[in-house]
Amino acid sequence: MPVIIDQEKCEGISECPGEGLCIKLCEKGALEEKDNQIVFISEKCDDCDICIQNCPSQAIVKE
């Protein structure tokens, strides 16, 4: 099941308390940075939920 990144909660990597922890933890490369924003690539996601569990802003949720 794809995830959604709440852009109101996720203020970009430069403001992230985890400094882009979701990107660092994603072993499949389903999260990338583009113009200081987190971009989700659904075809790479294996539904491990590591990004959801570790987002310090609680900005990543299941669709």
What CATH number does residue 41 fall under? 3.30.70.20
Q: How far apart (Å, rounded) are the C-alpha atoms in residues 19 and 62?
A: 21
User: Which amino acid belongs to residue 38?
Assistant: I
Residue that wins the pLDDT comparison between 63 and 21:
21
Give me the pLDDT at residue 50, please: 96
47, pLDDT greater than 80? yes
- In this structure, what is the dihedral angle of CA atoms 61, 39, 26, 28, given to the nearest 10 degrees? 120
The pLDDT of residue 15 is above 80: yes
Checking if the pLDDT of 1 tops 80, the result is no
Q: How many domains does the chain have?
A: 1
**Percent of the chain whose pLDDT exceeds 70:** 98
Distance CA 14, CA 56 (A): 13
Of 34, 44, 40, 42, nearest in space to 12 by CA: 34
| Structural domain for 57, as ranges | 3-62
